[in-house]
Amino acid sequence: MRLIRFGPAGDEKPGIIGSNGSRCDLSAHFQDWDTKFFASGDVDRLAEILRRDAASLPVVPETERWAAPVARPGKVICIGLNYSDHAEESGMPIPAEPIVFLKASNTVIGPYDNIQIPRGGEKTDWEVELGVVIGKEARYLASPEAARSHIAGYCVSHDVSERAFQLERGGQWTKGKSCDTFNPLGPWLATPEEISNVDALPMKLCVNGELRQKGTTAKMIFNVPFLVHYLSQFMTLEPGDLISTGTPPGVGLGMKPPKYLKAGDVVELEIEQLGRQKQICVIL
């Protein structure tokens, strides 16, 4: 299943990508793809509705906004330097354990919404990442293998960063990652059975049509089950929480000389089997 949400900001409705590629409205059956939905196990009820009534679901008009495929997460947890080739690009050693930081949950926006360059921002950067959404509570999981059943699905996550805030204003990663609009998400959330091999997904990002990032999840130092298991040893992962799992090489900070986003720039990114995003950068 490929879950989507649609509608104006603050009034989003749940839906799904139908077998013919159209967006279908499920708001008559569910309130939202949120913590309550995942925690209640309603994914099984959704599957049954699709088996029974898929052909009768209303089609979402093409003019409707694409929203983030899940409602505002309780937590957005990010992993730094999780690609071996990105660590090399950054001139930093491969981490012995995952580098973990938090990002404000109100950064999450739709996949085609504008990115706002923040007031005082000088070094706004791009990062295409594999997003993982938690499907059921995970606390002190016994093993990475046990973590698999706690995953609701996967999506494209754009971990936008303001490097001046992150690296030059007291060394606080969170404040360089948490500006408004700094986490476009989607276009859809693919449930695990939709993905043939999450450990080998090609990904890329372009700025103004120029390829900047090209990589694959095969280069992840810590894979998805490891990360879910690892994080569960330090915090309770709740249904609907989002994990952004790191980025491949090609970020603006690593270019020589560095390059950053400016007003009018167009960022396009994609991960195979998870769809594409497109954002225009604007001044806040």
What's the pTM? 0.96
Query: Residues spanned by CATH 3.90.850.10 within the chain?
Result: 70-283
The pLDDT of residue 214 is: 97
Q: Residues in the chain with pLDDT < 70?
A: none
The per-residue b/e assignment along 225-263, b for 16 or more CB within 10 angstroms, e otherwise, is bebbbbbbeeeebbbbbbbbbbbbbbbbbbeeeebbbee
The pLDDT of residue 177 is: 96
Q: Are the C-beta atoms of residues 185 and 159 closer than 8 Å to each other?
A: no
Nearest alpha-carbon partner for 272 in 221, 178, 204:
204
Write out pLDDT tens, residues 120-136.
999 999 999 999 999 99
Write out pLDDT tens, residues 43-100.
989 999 999 988 899 999 999 999 999 999 999 999 999 998 877 777 778 899 999 9
What's the rounded Cα separation, in Å, for the pair 23 and 41?
Answer: 23
**CATH superfamily ID and name for 70-283:** Fumarylacetoacetase-like, C-terminal domain (3.90.850.10)
Q: Are the C-beta atoms of residues 43 and 135 closer than 8 Å to each other?
A: yes
The pLDDT of residue 84 is: 86
With tokens 């569910």, the residue in question is 30
Pairing of strands 151-158, 115-117: unpaired
Question: How long, in residues, is the chain?
Answer: 284
